[in-house]
Amino acid sequence: MSEKPLLLDTDRRFRDIVIESAGKEVFNCYQCNKCSAGCPVAFAMDLLPHQVIRSVLFGKKEKVMSSGTIWLCASCETCTTRCPNEIDIAQVMDVLRQLHYESGHETPQPKILYCTLLFSTVLKKPAGSMNLAWSETFQSKAAISRKSSKKVPGKTILNWQLRCFYGESLSFFPHGSKGVKDVRTLFNQAQEHKKV
């Protein structure tokens, strides 16, 4: 199968949504590769950060949305700091992730996506953040076994939990906060603020 001609595959609306949130500086990219050269997770990416920026400018929605790069990005902002044109590349990645999440596209990195979603679920629980790692393992086990063919053995998870507990990297009691109610309200309000 031959690739589509360059201009037939462009989605200007997609490009405009990204630029609107991430700033007009994105147009200034001259492909110097400084972002990709500094990126600590570039080794695992199928599309390097500077290629993502170029694809966004060309409106290559499918190419960007189907790459694992947007979910592999660790939001460390090394790229943003290094960019000579002051493009907020980490913000571009954020916007792309938001668009990807709303569109429900498939991703080559499903575990990172599930982990992010689980984190948001745990935030709304009355125990707040402290039980995070505990509940996260429990739930990620459920999520991974439900959505992917690769199952995590229960024994592995138990070992991991015991190690955390005895290594004292987890507290026994959760951090109780009266703010959880507010957080839940904010999450409800967030439903009304979608991108598309």
Partner 1 sequence: MKVSFFPGCSLEGTAREYGESIEEVCSSLGIELEELKDWTCCGASSAHCTNEFLSIALPARNLACAEKLESGPDHSLRSLLQPSESCGRSIDL
CB–CB of 72/110 below 8 Å?
no
Minimum distance, C-beta of residue 116 to partner 1, in the bound complex (Å): 5
* Contact with partner 1 (CB under 8 A) among 133, 144, 152, 157: 133
44 lies in the site for partner 1, by CB under 8 A? no
Question: Which of 31, 75, 145, 159 is in the footprint of partner 1 by CB under 8 A?
Answer: 75
**Measured between alpha carbons, how far is 24 from 116 in angstroms, rounded to an integer?**
28
**Three-state SS string across 98-153, please?**
HHHHHHCCCCCCHHHHHHHHHHHHHHCCCCCCCCHHHHHHHHHHHHHHHHCCCCCC
Rounded least distance, CB 2 to partner 1, Å:
35
Give the CA-trace dihedral at 91, 92, 96, 102, to 10 degrees: 50
Count residues near partner 1 (CB under 8 A). Answer: 38
> How many CB atoms neighbour CB 42 within 10 A?
18
Q: Does 130 bind partner 1 (CB under 8 A)?
A: yes
Q: Does 116 bind partner 1 (CB under 8 A)?
A: yes
Regarding 120 and contact with partner 1 (CB under 8 A), the answer is: yes
21-41 b/e with 16+ CB inside 10 Å = b? bbeebbeebeeeebbbeebee
Residue with tokens 């109780």: 176
> Contact with partner 1 (CB under 8 A): which of 92, 95, 137, 140?
95
Q: Which of 128, 137, 140, 143 binds partner 1 (CB under 8 A)?
A: 128
CB of 30 to partner 1, least distance (A): 26
Q: Please tell me whether residue 127 binds partner 1 under the rule CB under 8 A.
A: no
**What does each C-alpha distance from 184 to 51, 121, 124, 125 come to in angstroms?**
37, 10, 6, 9
Using CB under 8 A as the binding rule, whether residue 94 contacts partner 1 is answered as: yes
135 binds partner 1 (CB under 8 A): no
Instruction: State the residues that interact with partner 1 by CB under 8 A.
Output: 21, 71, 75, 77, 94-95, 97-98, 101, 116-117, 119-120, 123, 128-130, 132-133, 164, 168-171, 175, 177-180, 182-183, 186-187, 189-190, 193-195
